[in-house]
Structure 1
Amino acid sequence: MLILTLGTQASASTWIFNAVRAIFSVNEIHAASAMSEEGCQFLGMMPSGFDHFILKSHRMDSNLINLARISSSKVIVTSRDPRDVLVSQKERFDSEYRDQIGSLSRSLVSIASIPTSLDTMHLQYEDRFFERSDTIRRLASFLSLPVTDEQCESIFAALSPEAVRAQISTWVSEAAPRDTEEWDMATHWHPGHLGDGRSGKWVGALPDVARKAAEGALAPFHAPKDFRSEETFWSPYLFNGPETDRGGAVTLSVNGEASLLVHGPYLCLPVGRWMMRPVLKAPSDGRLIAIKMDAYTYADDRGVMEMKTLVLPITAKKAPSLEIDVVDHLHPLEFRLYSVNDGRKGTFEFGGVRLKYLGESSNLGLHPAMSRVA
C-alpha cells in the first residue's frame, strides 16, 4: 500500500506523516517512509522487500499522481488558509512573500489535481485536527488499521508540541557538527519547524499587497472553492517589471524599440484550457501604442503557447486575451508584454492578468508508444 501525505506548507502535514508512521509501527507492519515529490525519484528510492510506503510531499508531479491512481493509493491532504501560511513561513524562515506564493501555487494546484477516484482524506488546519487524539483513530480507520485507546493516546502524546520540541532538540545536539538547518531524515522535523499554531494570524501581519496577491492567485484552488468556476487573478505584484512590488497597476513606457516590459509570475495552473486576459489601460492622450503579448510554458518542447500583437487603446468589446492549453500542472507559466520596434512612443497601464478555466485539455490522448486495449 502506498500512502501519500500531501499538504501545503505550515499545514501540520509533518504531524500527519509521523502519525501515520506511528500507526504502522504499533501494528508492527514493515513499512518505509520518505519525502519525494516526483514519481521517478520515488521509484528510484523504493527499497525492495517493502509492501508499504508512506510518502510525504508538498506537491506531486504528474508521474506520482498517475502512480497513485493506478496503485489505488490512499491520500491524506492537509491544507491551511494561504494567508496564514505566508505569515507562518515569514515568521519561521523569513521567506519572501512572492517566493512563498509560488510554492503555495505548486502545492494547491497539486491538491486540486488529485483524481476524484483516489481514496482521499481531507484535513483542514483550522479544524485543529492536530490538537485532538481522535485524529489518530480517524487516520487508523482510513488506513484500515486497528489501534487501541491506549495506543491513540500514546501516539498523540508523542506528537505534542512539547514532545516534538524535545525530539528536535535531541536531534540537533546529536547532529553536530552537521548542518542543523537540515531535517531529521526519519521524522522530517527540523529546527524552527513548530510555529505558534494560531489561525487568522494574517490579520494585521500580512501586508495588504501580499494579501491581495495571494487571495487572487491562490484562493480559487483552496477548498471548498473550485477553480473551474472561480476567476484567478495574477496581481502586478507577482510580476517582474518597474514598480510591480507596489501591487497596483503599473505604468509601462515604450520608446519605439523592441524590449521586454513585464514578465511573470511563474505560477502553476491545473491541466486544462485557460483564458488569459491582461488588464490594460491606454493613456487618455489618444496615442496609438503597439505592444506584443505572449504566454510561455516551461513544459518540454512547448515554449510559446500563444502570441498576439495589439494596438492600444482597445474597446471593452475587443478585450485582448490568450487561450492556452496547460498540459502539466507543475510547469510554471509566464505571461510577457513587449514593446515593438515601430518608432512610436507612449505609456500605458498594466493591472495584472485575469484567468478563466475553459475546460479539459485537448492534449490528453495516448502517448504515441501506447495503444488502447478496449
Structure 2
Amino acid sequence: MIVLCLGMQGSASTFTFNVVRDLLAAGGGSVAGFEATGLAAVEAALRGCPDSVVVRAHTLSASLLALVAAAGGRFVVTTRDPRDCVASLRCRLGGDAACWAMDVARSLAAVGTVLQRPGIRPFAFEEGFAADPDIGPRLAAALGLSLDPQHARRVAAGWSPGKVGEVLAALARQRKPDGAGFRSDPATGFNEAHLGDGRVGKWAEVLPPRRRPPSTAASAAWGRSGTASGPAIPSVSARPCSARPPATTTTRMPGRDPSGSRCCGSATSRPGAGG
C-alpha cells in the first residue's frame, strides 16, 4: 500500500504522518516512511519491497499523484486556514510572510487537487483532530485497516504533545550541523521549531489588516467543495509575532526550510512558538 499524507503547513501533518506509519506497522508488515514530492524517493523505497510506503508532503508532483492513484493508494489530507498557516510559519521560522504565502499557496493548490478525488474528507486543524481521543481509529478506518480501536488509540497516544516534546528535547541536545538553521529528526520529520501554541485565528494578531478577508471556517469549506475557495492568502509582510520567544540563532536559508518547503528569506532558530 502507498499512503500519501498531504498536509498544509502547520496543519498537524507531521503528527498524522507518524500516526499513519505506526498504525500500518501495528497491522503487520514492513513500512517505509519519508518526505517526498516526486517519484524518485518513492521508486527507491519500492525497490526494497516494503509492505507499505508512507509519503509525507506539503506539495506534490502530478507524477506522484498519478502513481498513488494508479496503485490504489490512500490519501490522508490535513488542512488549515491558509492565513493561520502563514502566521504559524512566520512565528516559528521567521522570514517574510509574503514568501511563506507563496509556499502555502502551492500547498493549497495540491490539497485542492487531491480533494477533487471522490471519497476523500480532510482532517481540518480547526476541528482539533490531533487531540481527538478517537483519531487513531479514524485514521485506521481511512487506511482500511482492521485494527482494534483500543490499539489504534494507543498508537495515536504515542504521538501526544508530551511524546513530541521528548523528540524535540532530544534534538536540542544534539550538536547543530554546520550551516544548518534547525536540528531535525529525519525519522519522524519533526524539527526543533515544530511545535507551537496551536491557536486558531492567530493570523489576526500576526498579519497586517490590509486585504484581510472575513473570517470563515475555511478548512471545512475546502473539505466540502474540494476547491481552494477559502479566504485569500496575504501577500504582504507580517507584523512580528506577538508571542515570539527570544531568538537564538539566525541562519540564511536560501533553499528549503526544515519542513521541506521553499523559503526565500532568512529563518530564525528558536523554540516552537507558532503551530
TM-score class, shorter-chain normalisation, is 0.7 to 0.9
TM (normalized to structure 1)? 0.56
Cα distance in 1 between the residues matched to 2:2 and 2:50? 10
- Quote the offset at 1:185 in angstroms: 1.1
Cα distance in 2 between the residues matched to 1:46 and 1:131? 33
AA aligned opposite 2:11: S
1:65 aligns with 2:65: yes
Same amino acid, percent of matched pairs: 24
Give the conservation status (yes or no) of the 8 Å contact 1:5–1:57.
yes
Cα distance in 1 between the residues matched to 2:230 and 2:135? 34
Q: Which has the higher strand share?
A: 1
- Quote the offset at 1:203 in angstroms: 2.2
Give the conservation status (yes or no) of the 8 Å contact 1:69–1:118.
no
Q: Cα deviation per residue 1:274-332 (whole Å; 9 max; x = unaligned)?
A: xxxxxxxxxxxxxxxxxxxxxxxxxxxxxxxxxxxxxxxxxxxxxxxxxxxxxxxxxxx
User: Alignment RMSD, CA only?
Assistant: 3.0
Which residue does 1:199 correspond to in 2? 200
Cα distance in 1 between the residues matched to 2:230 and 2:145? 41
Q: Cα deviation per residue 1:109-136 (whole Å; 9 max; x = unaligned)?
A: 1111127446534110000000012011
Which residue does 1:2 correspond to in 2? 2
AA aligned opposite 2:202: K
- Quote the offset at 1:27 in angstroms: 2.2
- Quote the offset at 1:158 in angstroms: 1.7
More deviation, 150-159/65-74: 150-159
AA aligned opposite 2:129: F
Q: Deviating runs (4+, > 6 A) in structure 1?
A: 231-235
* Number of corresponding residues: 233
Q: Tell me: CA distance 1:233–1:200, structure 2 relative to 1, closer, same or farther (3 Å).
A: closer
Q: Tell me: CA distance 1:121–1:231, structure 2 relative to 1, closer, same or farther (3 Å).
A: closer
AA aligned opposite 2:188: T
User: Which secondary structure state, in structure 1, belongs to the residue aligned with residue 162 of structure 2?
Assistant: helix
TM (normalized to structure 2)? 0.74
Any unmatched runs of 5+ in structure 2? 239-275
Which residue does 1:88 correspond to in 2? 88
Query: Larger Rg: 1 or 2?
Result: 1
1:188-337 equivalences in 2 (<5 Å): 188-209=189-210, 211=212, 222-224=222-224
- Quote the offset at 1:147 in angstroms: 2.7
Q: Tell me: CA distance 1:233–1:84, structure 2 relative to 1, closer, same or farther (3 Å).
A: closer
Which residue does 2:122 correspond to in 1? 122
Q: Which has the higher helix share?
A: 2
Give the conservation status (yes or no) of the 8 Å contact 1:75–1:118.
no
Cα distance in 1 between the residues matched to 2:66 and 2:17? 21
Which residue does 1:342 correspond to in 2? none
Which residue does 1:176 correspond to in 2? 175
Give the conservation status (yes or no) of the 8 Å contact 2:222–2:230.
no
